[in-house]
Amino acid sequence: MLINWYPGHMAKTKRQLQEQISRCDLILELCDARLPFSSRNPDLEKLIQGKKSVLLLNKSDLADADLTREWIRSFTEQGIRAFPCSAQSGKSKSILRVIDDASREFVEKALAKGVRKVVRAMIVGVPNVGKSTLINQIHGSSVARTGDRPGVTKANQWVTVSPYLQLMDSPGMLWPRLDDQTAARRLCYIGSIKDDVVDLPMLTIELLQELMEICPQAVSERFRIRDFSLRGESLLQEVCKGRGFLLKGGLFDYDRCCQVVLDEFRAGRCGRITLEKPDTSSLKEDTHVEKQQDGPCS
Ligand SMILES: Nc1nc2c(ncn2[C@@H]2O[C@H](COP(=O)(O)OP(=O)(O)O)[C@@H](O)[C@H]2O)c(=O)[nH]1
Ligand SMILES: [Mg+2]
């Protein structure tokens, strides 16, 4: 399966991002804590040109906590200010503290000149990573539209959080990790690339295969897979049989099967799973899974 995930407007996208960045004091980069490598913009460091930035590993409630700590350590070692974040958790105070810390230097510089500076922070990240949710969390009400699919935010929007803090919500951009089909596939798993540009049965098979290597127990319980050696289409058929996704005449209901597998993975129903490790950016063996309290099956 080849995913044509980057539409080819690379120069335009970069230019727009650069323009927006130039109007901001601070960049809040959001990546998905389950994919801290594939969901980051490889060009951002160059584009922000020395501007203050903070990396937030969002949806950390869905990621393995030990691996999130490893990622934070690894980013910190590279000189990147990185913090775990769960935009849905209601802990906006800690995020505001991170913003305050990151902007202190230039706020104090301006203050020394008698100016009380308004901090303008831009939230950057791939679609569906939680940018609008984070803004709502910090603002304390639903000022930005959110939704569990890419493309909900249509245009840039400035949100005034306080007289001295403004945040910019943006539609989110996919980054050109050219030829990186693994990254593309993983961005599909987490819903950053629209489902309708991919072959869903193929994507679901790939996800199930990846999960069966990472956390066979949790995944087989969740999707009622009795034979751990199954791969390819047989895996899909096993899930259809186990979960009762059957049509009249005993035909397999692949549409429903794919939607349920993807939805449940995205909602963390198979447990807290991180797909990438700091050094290798790929997790095949020696992986970590934390089950959610409500158990793997419903
Ligand atoms: N579990 C979990 N879900 C989140 C978190 N942040 C956002 N979401 C959900 O992810 C989906 C996409 O969020 P949204 O803010 O619209 O993403 P955006 O496209 O980056 O603006 C929504 O369904 C949110 O409720 C988080 O920290 N944890
Ligand atoms: Mg949005």
Amino acid identity, position 32: D
Q: Which residue out of 128, 145, 272 has the highest number of ligand 1 atoms within 8 Å of its CB and is therefore the one to mutate? A: 128
3 state SS of 58 = strand
| pLDDT band at residue 47 under the 50/70/90 scheme | confident
Q: How many Å apart are CA 150 and CA 66, to the nearest integer? A: 28
- Distance linking the first and last C-alpha atoms of the chain: 31
**CATH architecture of the domain with range 10-169:** 3-Layer(aba) Sandwich (3.40)
Q: Which residues surround ligand 1 with Cβ inside 6 Å?
A: 58-59, 61-62, 86-88, 125, 127-133, 146-148, 152-153, 172
| pLDDT band at residue 177 under the 50/70/90 scheme | low
Atom of ligand 1 nearest to the CA of 125: 20
- CA torsion 10→72→261→267, rounded to 10°? -100
Report the pLDDT value the prediction gives residue 59, as an integer from 0 to 100. 97
pLDDT in tens, 235-263: 999 999 999 999 999 899 999 999 999 99
**CATH architecture of the domain with range 199-290:** Orthogonal Bundle (1.10)
Q: Which residue out of 133, 157, 159 has the highest number of ligand 1 atoms within 8 Å of its CB and is therefore the one to mutate? A: 133
Do the beta carbons of residue 164 and residue 103 sit within 8 Å? no
pTM of the model: 0.88
Buried b (16+ CB within 10 A) or exposed e, 20-45: bbeebbbbbbbbbbbbbbbbbbebbe
Q: Domain ranges for the chain, please list them.
A: 10-169, 199-290
32 Cβ contact list (under 8 Å, min separation 6): 39, 57, 58, 59, 63, 126, 129, 190, 192
Q: How many Å apart are CA 86 and CA 77, to the nearest integer? A: 22
| pLDDT band at residue 282 under the 50/70/90 scheme | very low
